[in-house]
A and B are shown apart, each in its own frame.
Chain A
Amino acid sequence: MSTEPVVPAPSSGWETVIGLEVHCELRTQTKLFCGCRNSFGEEPNTNVCPVCLGLPGSLPVLNRAAVEYAIRIGAALHSTVQASMFHRKNYFYPDMPKDYQISQYDVPINAGGWLTLPGGRRIGIVRAHLEEDTGKTTHVGGGGRIHEATRSLVDYNRAGVPLVEIVSAPDMRSADEARAYVDELRAILVATGASDGKMEEGSLRVDANVSVRPAGSEEFGTRCEIKNMNSLRSLGRAVDYEVSRQIQLIESGGVVSQETRHWDEGAGRTASMRSKEEAYDYRYFPEPDLVPVDPPEEWVASIKASLPPMPSERRERIAEMSGLPAGSEAVVTVVRLGLDDLVEAVGAQGADTKSVGGASPAVAAIAVKRAANEVASDLAGAANLERSSFAKLVRMESSGQLTSAQARTVLKSMLEAGGDPEVIAEGLGFEAMESGGLEAIVDDVIAAHPEEWARYSEGEDKLAGFFIGHVKQATQGKADLKSASALLRSRR
């Protein structure tokens, strides 16, 4: 049931090309090359030492946990984990007290790879390498704007914090797709345990390389690198702004120049950062204070084996159980909010035939919908929701004991105050059709029309109406027809 991935259509004869660089702070206890605490929101300049301050005579020693997280990320992104080394990236900027950043250059720890968006599109990963974070600079005066500041204040608590930078291929074609990529990557990073995924705290930072080209062209246009977007929303806005800026510029006879541009959230536009051309000449050279990293195969294998299922696999699993498309909103929501176990719980309580995990597709689909709607809109309540009670409720709905509307009401009450669905339904005065009553009627109708049932089973879908009509008759119109249809499908 592979659905054809949809490539977004270009607008007005232009195609947008986006590649993203995502910096992910690793959740280690200490920094990449020293034992200073890796912790957000501490008093300024309290987690610093000779190594991360770049004092003469100090020597960096690589943190094993950071390497392990980097490998976890690489494995989750289908990268090749390889022997790698560190380089010095030289530049003068007060956020790096050493005047160079230790990073990986031509031989990153993770090479290549991909991730799959919920819609089915595969986005290439060029590399995912280890490097140290910079200090935090605050621009003072001029309302905090970098261009108008009178001075800058630097806190080196963040200098040396381990990062993995994930560089995508220029595979995205719209702002929406760029957001979907970051959303998916964030879910993967959180699943590996490497990241807390908090964009607002800066533990996940996104830079976007944006260019436009005439639709159908194979060549890339000149790209601009957009920085300073601190939410998915500002990423979308910044990309949309930059795309129209470039199209307007070209259409009015101008030329896009390759440069770094700063996103101004308040003004809703990007502005050139006016850096001198030499700023890009980083004069990389091998870091003489660090030896290469060559993770033994057994280590990489054991790390890979310890990874939990990634979001795309989990969506496939829920899709397989419920028959709903893996890219459907309900399935995506269930996985994003980690509600898979609710759906699994319904399976665990049953042993339906033709099922994946114990629940027939029709039953699992009800579970997915309830989880993606009622449960998703009350996550506080979801934390206390008994898995077995939820499963029981879904079974009550699928068997026709409750109509969908009644089931929703009961579930909302369960989310608010807990309790057993049967007791709640009774308390609400929902006329309880005998448990399994509808099921028995459906089975009777099927048994009474073996010839039609055979044809329906072979795929003659329009006969569903015939059976539903008989169920309606047998129950004097009292049956929940949606449940009856679901039951029919589950018997097929």
Chain B
Amino acid sequence: MPRSITTDDVAHVARLARLQLSQEELTRFTQQLAAVLDHARDVESLDTTGVVPTAHALPLVNVLRDDVVTPSLDRATVLAEAPEVEDHRFRVPKILGDSQ
């Protein structure tokens, strides 16, 4: 029996997803995620020998398009949505912070 999910696990995943959760939320989501994982464990108990793993509900492969240029968006329209613009580019805070 694998260990069940802890609030530490949820805090870790939340940090990776850049989500800020309150203590109350951490507890609540831990319970909810535990239920989801329990369900997955139920499915895991089935014998799936010979069943190919399914990543898609669609019985399709090779949906391909031709290599033909289609119009891009107008730059002014695009940059109007940017929080900050400099030199026709998206301006973002410096990427690697000071040591934390």
Contacts and interface: CB of A to CB of B under 8 A. Distances in A.
B40 to A, nearest CB: 14
B65 A49 contact: no
Contacts of A147: 96
A153 B91 contact: yes
B3 interface: no
B28 interface: no
A5 to B, nearest CB: 40
Nearest to B92: A94
A462 interface: no
Given A151-B92, A153-B90, A293 B69 contact: no
A149 B95 contact: yes
Contacts of A273: 96
Interface string A280-301: 0101001010111111100000
B89 A154 contact: yes
Nearest to B88: A44
A29 interface: yes
Contact of B88 (A43, A294, A295): A43
A43 B63 CA distance: 31
Nearest to A162: B67
A83 B61 contact: yes
A290 B95 CA distance: 30
A107 to B, nearest CB: 10
Contacts of A278: 12, 15-16
B75 interface: yes
A319 to B, nearest CB: 38
What range describes how many residues of B lie at the interface? 35 or more
A179 to B, nearest CB: 29
Contact of A37 (B56, B69, B87, B95): B69
B67 A274 contact: no
A47 B86 CA distance: 17
Nearest to A135: B90
Interface stretch (A59-67, A304-312, A395-403): A59-67
Nearest to B63: A291
B90 A154 contact: yes
B95 A152 contact: yes
Given A153-B90, A291-B60, A62 B65 contact: yes
B65 A61 contact: yes
A49 B73 contact: yes
B44 to A, nearest CB: 17
B48 interface: no
A67 B64 contact: yes
B79 A45 contact: yes
Interface string B5-25: 000000011011010000000
A46 interface: yes
Given A48-B78, A83-B61, A64 B66 contact: yes
B6 to A, nearest CB: 17
A362 to B, nearest CB: 48
B70 interface: yes
Interface string A49-73: 1100100000001111111000000
Q: Is chain A's binding surface mostly helix, strand, loop or mixed?
A: loop
A46 B89 contact: no
B45 interface: no
Contacts of A152: 91-95
B55 interface: yes
Given A29-B69, A48-B73, A281 B16 contact: yes
- Most chain B beta carbons < 10 A, residue from A61, A67, A152, A295: A152
Interface in A4-54: 28-30, 34-37, 43-50, 53
Contacts of A220: none
B80 to A, nearest CB: 11
A466 interface: no
B36 to A, nearest CB: 14
A155 B89 contact: yes
A200 B71 CA distance: 29
A453 interface: no
B49 interface: no
Contacts of B16: 90, 278, 281, 283
Interface in A135-159: 137-141, 146-147, 149-156
A288 B56 contact: yes
A64 B65 contact: yes
A433 B56 CA distance: 79
30 contacts: A35-B69, A36-B70, A43-B75, A45-B75, A45-B88, A45-B90, A47-B72, A48-B75, A49-B70, A61-B64, A62-B65, A63-B64, A64-B66, A64-B67, A65-B66, A67-B64, A85-B55, A94-B95, A139-B94, A139-B95, A151-B86, A152-B93, A153-B86, A154-B92, A274-B99, A288-B55, A290-B63, A291-B63, A293-B62, A294-B61
Interface of A: 28-30, 34-37, 43-50, 53, 61-67, 83, 85, 90, 92-94, 137-141, 146-147, 149-156, 273-276, 278, 281, 283, 286, 288, 290-296
Given A93-B95, A149-B95, 5 more contacts: A45-B75, A63-B64, A63-B67, A140-B86, A151-B93
Closest 5 CB pairs of A and B: A35-B70, A65-B67, A286-B55, A153-B89, A64-B64
